[in-house]
Amino acid sequence: MPDHEEGCGCGATGVHPVDSLAVTVITDNYYDRLRPDQKIARRAKIAHGNSMHSEHGLSYHIEATASGRTQAFMFDYGVEGEPIVKNMKLLGIDLGRLEAFALSHGHYDHWGSLIYLLKKHKARIKRDTPLYVGEEAFARRFSRPPAKGDQPGDAQKEPEDLGHLAREKIERLGLVEIVEITSPTEVVPGAFLTGNIERVTAYEKGLARHLVKRGKALEHDSFPGEQALVFNVKEKGLVVVSSCAHAGIINTIRHAQKISGVEHVHAVLGGFHLTGAEPALIEQTLADMKRIHPDYIAPMHCTGFEAITAFAREMPEQFILNTVGTRYVFGPGET
């Protein structure tokens, strides 16, 4: 893909540029050891006899280089602790070199292994490392079965308790400092959490079956505090990294454009939360993504088979199939 030196708004913005960026997928729903490198995607070369763990979860290790200095942090933590630790070892990721932790939202498939990782590596983690979270990150979540379920009586079942991340357990460890945010926040130089994402599309409304406990009541969960990441890579444009995009992936991208002042989108990575979605929603999302016209797109995790194949079919030049262990490289090292 060509550089976008003109017209991408890569100059003065609210999100100052990074020289380069590397995003490594520690875990995701899919692993393919034989998948070759593709465009900006560098596949992990895992020795024969070893295998990486995949699951219904998502976790990233991110390295941002600004002013000649590279700093690393983690964004989300998947579900299963020991397999995540194994993946990190295979990928050469050292928690002792992290400058921050960040959490997208309070669903277990994004925080499940966090406390395990903190305990396992407590001797290596720098004391008072910030852990950035959004609103209601520690709230208890529930999910109501779909109205048209696969099994008779699904609609009448009680909501499933999805649990919650226990703030007090994290605080008792004495390792990290919890920082709650609502507005765009810099994690390390050039790496920004979005803050609360503005909802501007007419069709990205979330799922009615997602519930959150507020006081004693179960209420609809619109995930007001869910976070995504935005980077402005020099001479390239925006890189947007989502988790589940409950706010809508198009809303997320437009919010990133607004807070950064950068129009051109170089890459969109992450979950788009379109699994099980009606075809019309996938089509509307795809149509708007084509209008945004990112250079690269790598849908992951909760995007769903139907949506992933639609993006692959309709945006073949931009599409990258993600697998666990893939390292996405942005900046001078892209080619």
- What's the CA gap between 107 and 18, in Å, rounded? 30
Note whether residue 9 is domain-resident. no
Q: Give domain status of residue 262, yes or no.
A: yes
Q: Are 56 and 50 in contact (CB under 8 A)?
A: no
Domain membership of residue 266 (yes or no) is yes
Alpha carbon distance 249, 251 (integer Å) = 5
pTM above 0.85, yes or no: yes
Average pLDDT over residues 45-69: 95
Model pLDDT, residue 172? 96
Average pLDDT over the chain reads 92
User: What is the C-alpha to C-alpha distance for residues 25 and 323, in angstroms, rounded to an integer?
Assistant: 8
Domain holding 177, by residue range, is 20-334
Does position 180 have pLDDT exceeding 50, yes or no? yes
- Residue 145: pLDDT band (50, 70, 90) is confident
Nearest to 244 by CA among 217, 215, 275: 275
Q: What would the mean pLDDT of 169-197 be, rounded to a whole number?
A: 97
* Residue 1: predicted pLDDT: 39
Whether 9 shows a pLDDT value over 50: the answer reads no
- Tokens 């179960």: give the residue: 218
pLDDT confidence of residue 6 = 35
Domain count, the chain: 1
Q: Is residue 2 part of a domain?
A: no
pLDDT tens per residue, range 295-323: 999 999 999 999 999 999 999 999 999 99
Helix %, strand %, coil % for the chain, to 5? 25, 30, 50
Reply yes or no on whether the pLDDT at 154 is more than 70.
Answer: no
pLDDT given at position 158: 85
Determine the average pLDDT of the residues in 99-123: 96
Residue 134's pLDDT is 97
Does the pLDDT of residue 112 top 90, yes or no? yes
- Residue 4 maps to a domain: no
What whole-number distance in Å separates Cα of residue 273 and Cα of residue 260? 24
Residue 261, by phi and psi: left (phi above 0), alpha (psi -120 to 50) or beta?
A: left
Residue 3 lies in a domain: no
For 234-274, what is the HEC assignment? CCCEEEEECCCCCCCHHHHHHHHHHHHCCCCEEEEEEECCC
Domain of 58, CATH number, reads: 3.60.15.10
Residue 273 pLDDT? 95
Residue 15 lies in a domain: no
Looking at per-residue confidence, does 111 or 146 come out higher?
111
Predicted local confidence at residue 144, as pLDDT: 87
Tell me which amino acid residue 213 is.
Answer: K
Instruction: Give residue 146's pLDDT.
Output: 67
Average pLDDT over residues 316-332: 97
Query: pLDDT (tens digit, 9 = 90+) per residue, 188-207?
Result: 999 999 999 999 999 999 88
Q: How confident is the model at residue 105 (pLDDT cuts 50, 70, 90)?
A: very high
**What is the model's pLDDT at position 307?**
98
Residue 7: what pLDDT? 36
Q: Which two tokens stand for residue 95?
A: 């928690």
With respect to residue 78, please indicate whether it lies within any of the assigned structural domains.
Answer: yes
Report the pLDDT value the prediction gives residue 113, as an integer from 0 to 100.
Answer: 97
